[in-house]
Amino acid sequence: MKAIKYTGLLLFLIGLAIFTGTIFTGSFSLTQTELDNYIQEKGYKSEILKTELKNAVVTNKSLNIFEFSSRVRGAFETSNNFYDALIAKYDAEKNWDKKGEQYQYKVYGKPHTLSYNLAKKAGKGYVRDNAGLMWFLTFGLGIIGALLFILPNVILLGKPGIKNNGIYLNSATNRGAIAWLVLVYLVTFYLVLYFMADYAVNWTYILDPISKALNGGEASQWFVYGFLYCVIMLTMGVRMYIKYRHNKYQIVRTTSVLFFQIVFAFLIPEIMTSLNMPGYDFKNAFPLDYDFFFDWNIENLTNSGGIGIFILVWGILLTLVIVPVMVYFFGKRWYCSWVCGCGGLAETLGDPYRQHSNKSLNAWKLERWLIHSVLVFSLVMTIVTLYCYFSGTESLIGIKSQWIKDTYSFLIGAWFAGVIGTGFYPIFGNRVWCRFGCPLAAYLGLVQRFKSRFRITTNGGQCISCGNCSTYCEQGIDVRSYAQKGENIVRASCVGCGICSAVCPRGVLKLENGPETGRINPTDVLLGNDVDLMQLVNKK
């Protein structure tokens, strides 16, 4: 059994190494026609850009992606610098007409995006020519290896039951060297994905055939991310099924997040795209889906006929009606740990790291400040955007629509949700984003705290203060501090994953939806003691 596990681990690492290694392979160059077509398609008017790009990428040299990228970005900057200098010059001369003329020659967007778009056309080499085989050597080996590593647990873990043995004795799950290595890998991955996608263009070749089959187009870096996301969730979902095989709630919940990720977040949008509709994730609610009210999205939707209007109405209904009503009946868990993609990854890939959330009172204070600030930020951004969209202006009370959208996308969308949110799993736990950053979670949390039937019931006086519940709470709730007082847990941040209840050795905790009266029940003297004393002390 152990041998199978280690073989699996080895295969997985080989797959991961090949996957990572593909980045460095292939050669990149364009023909003049390819370049001209692209420039025409984009409508770039800068002659400088044309010449510079020609010198950079129309070549017989075999450039790897890093050289290619650096050349393209160089061309991009040379061109923009040139026109910026002109603008400055005419500005100094107060020659406004001339100054204004220069702007059309500037290239907008990010250098790495231009590089990615060109690289996607420019790549040649083994990976692109052998997508199928490469798929097997990367994804295939990864999946097989991971499964070989995970499946023996059916036997190795012994009888069904809570098996957290060794979690704090293992480098990978106890913030040891392995955990830090994983952190570095994940953070690098996200940095590449968000900010240097061109470096990972080889990955998109591996998935081109699958992408074409699904939506008719070639794979983008986001397709790679979506596909990888599903694969990781599925594989780590298998691990969840084995680890919690005695716990029906965990089994059902895991099935639910897998379903919503694969069908709603991945397949449906892909299929919609192939049918020339706007690809839309029907479960992704604003303000988590922060660009839902961005001008380009509204435009896109209103131009897409009936389905576009339907999506627009659905998106608004989802946030304003469906989400809060469901939270009233079932708590925020119906979204955060049953449906949501971020939650889904946290509950599968992130499960081995759930114990790292900080349980201190200070962390709780920080949480409330941060998450509500992000909520306010997202709302302000949306108001500004919508105001500008409908009034045709560029800013509201001095806040520029474009600026605030860019800032939010960069700080919250990319850094917080991605790089920190997932990259830091191995050290800070699997729900950093959900706990400190997600504006939707903040909104659901307010509903859950003040108007909901959901609570975690504490079973009278049975708690022995052992601390398992708090330790394994991914949201950093000090569950024990309530349980040992015989008090139900009603907290905005609780995502209802149910693990506290699972790990409690005394059967103290139960997630349930019940009447609102008696949901919050402060006690000082617990059930089991003198009835008169309980009444005396607990009357409040």
Partner 1 sequence: MEHIVIIGNGISGVTAARHIRKNSDKQITIISKENKYFFSRTALMYIYMGHMKFEHTQPYENWFWEKNNISLKEAFVANINTEKKVLDFSNGEHLSYDKLIIASGSKPNKFGWPGQDLEGVMGMYHKQDLENLEKYAPNKEACKRAVIVGGGLIGIELAEMLRSRDIPVTFLVRESSFWNGVLPAQESEMINEHIKDHHIDLRLGANLKEIKADENGKVKSIIIEETGEEIFCNVVGLTAGVSPNINFVKESGIATNRGVLVNRFLETNVKDVYAIGDCAEQHDAIGQRRNIEAVWYTGRMMGETLAQTICGNKTAYKPGHWFNSAKFLDIEYQTYGWVFSERGLKEGETYFQWRHPKDYKCITISFHKESRQFIGINTFGIRMRHEIFDKWLTENQSIEYVLEHLADANFDPEFYKLHEGEIMEKFNQENGTNIKLQKKSWKRIFSKA
Where on the chain is the footprint of ligand SF4 (CB under 6 A)? 463-469, 479-480, 483, 504, 506, 508-509
The partner in contact with residue 361, picked from partner 1, ligand SF4, none with C-beta cut-offs of 5 to 8 angstroms by kind, is: partner 1
Query: CB under 8 Å to 272, separation ≥6 — which residues?
Result: 278, 279, 280, 307
Judged by beta carbon, residue 209 or residue 467, the one nearer ligand SF4 is 467
Judged by beta carbon, residue 119 or residue 511, the one nearer partner 1 is 511
CB of 467 to ligand SF4, least distance (A): 5
The partner in contact with residue 140, picked from ligand SF4, partner 1, none with C-beta cut-offs of 5 to 8 angstroms by kind, is: none
The partner in contact with residue 317, picked from partner 1, ligand SF4, none with C-beta cut-offs of 5 to 8 angstroms by kind, is: none
CB of 493 to partner 1, least distance (A): 18
The partner in contact with residue 469, picked from ligand SF4, partner 1, none with C-beta cut-offs of 5 to 8 angstroms by kind, is: ligand SF4
CA distance 349 to 329: 28
Q: Which of 538, 446, 435, 442 is nearest to 487 (CA)?
A: 538
Judged by beta carbon, residue 113 or residue 462, the one nearer partner 1 is 462
CB of 468 to ligand SF4, least distance (A): 4
Judged by beta carbon, residue 190 or residue 482, the one nearer ligand SF4 is 482
The partner in contact with residue 356, picked from ligand SF4, partner 1, none with C-beta cut-offs of 5 to 8 angstroms by kind, is: none
The partner in contact with residue 460, picked from partner 1, ligand SF4, none with C-beta cut-offs of 5 to 8 angstroms by kind, is: partner 1
- Contact residues toward partner 1 (CB under 8 A) are 158-162, 164-170, 246-249, 251-252, 360-361, 457, 459-462, 464-468, 470-471, 480-481, 484, 498, 501-503, 505-507, 510-512, 514-515, 517-518, 524-533, 536-537
CB of 63 to partner 1, least distance (A): 50
**Could you tell me which residues are beta bridge partners of residue 123?**
28
SS3 category, 27: strand
The partner in contact with residue 165, picked from ligand SF4, partner 1, none with C-beta cut-offs of 5 to 8 angstroms by kind, is: partner 1
CB of 459 to ligand SF4, least distance (A): 8
CB of 179 to partner 1, least distance (A): 15
Token digits for 36? 């001209």
Angle, vertex CA 209, rays to CA 59 and CA 272, nearest 5: 115
Judged by beta carbon, residue 188 or residue 538, the one nearer partner 1 is 538
Q: What is the CB neighbour count within 10 angstroms for residue 93?
A: 10
Tell the residue number behind the tokens 């504490």, with chain if given. 458
- Are 197 and 189 in contact by the 8 Å Cβ rule? The answer is no
Q: Which of 352, 12, 425, 354 is nearest to 190 (CA)?
A: 425
CB of 169 to ligand SF4, least distance (A): 20
Judged by beta carbon, residue 144 or residue 526, the one nearer ligand SF4 is 526
DSSP letters spanning 497-534: --HHHHH-TT--EEEEE--STTSS---SSPBTB-HHHH
CB of 131 to ligand SF4, least distance (A): 49
The partner in contact with residue 529, picked from ligand SF4, partner 1, none with C-beta cut-offs of 5 to 8 angstroms by kind, is: partner 1
Q: What is the CB neighbour count within 10 angstroms for residue 527?
A: 14
Tell the residue number behind the tokens 């850009």, with chain if given. 49
CA distance 524 to 519: 16
Token digits for 173? 């799950």
Q: Strand 27-28 and strand 123-124: pairing?
A: antiparallel
Q: What one-letter code names the amino acid at 172?
A: A
Q: Assign residue 498 a region (left: φ > 0; alpha: ψ between -120 and 50; beta: otherwise).
A: left
Judged by beta carbon, residue 398 or residue 515, the one nearer partner 1 is 515
- Are 233 and 349 in contact by the 8 Å Cβ rule? The answer is yes
Return the sign of the alpha-carbon dihedral for residues 420, 421, 424, 427: positive
The partner in contact with residue 247, picked from ligand SF4, partner 1, none with C-beta cut-offs of 5 to 8 angstroms by kind, is: partner 1
CB of 253 to ligand SF4, least distance (A): 19
